[in-house]
């Protein structure tokens, strides 16, 4: 899940969002969100979908199955 962690952080930084903001939008704790970016935790499928919608990217892109 390292590619997911990298892409998630890149997308968040590009948008100027904080980890706290992301956690609030996803209805999770900030510590849980931080684990996603550290590649020590994984989101649920529902949360993964919410992240994809939030950044207007595919779930395939987020998990490294696509480069677009």
pTM (global) more than 0.75? yes
Which CATH number is 2-63's, of 1.10.3720.10, 3.40.50.10860, 1.10.10.10, 1.10.260.40?
1.10.260.40
Q: Residue range 21-47: average pLDDT?
A: 98
pLDDT tens digit sequence for 4-15: 999 999 999 999
Residue 68 — very low, low, confident or very high, per pLDDT cuts 50/70/90? confident
Average pLDDT of the chain, as a whole number? 97
Q: Residue range 28-48: average pLDDT?
A: 98
Element (H, E) at 21: helix 19-26
Q: Which residues does 52 contact at the CB level (< 8 Å), separation at least 6?
A: 58, 59, 61, 62
pLDDT at 1: 77
């Amino acid at each position: 899940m390292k590619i997911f962690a990298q892409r998630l952080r890149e997308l968040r930084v590009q948008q100027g969002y904080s980890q706290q903001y992301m956690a609030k939008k996803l209805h999770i704790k900030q510590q849980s969100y931080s684990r996603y970016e550290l590649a020590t935790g994984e989101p649920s499928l529902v949360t993964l979908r919410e992240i994809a919608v939030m950044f207007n990217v595919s779930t395939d892109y987020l998990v490294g199955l696509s480069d677009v």
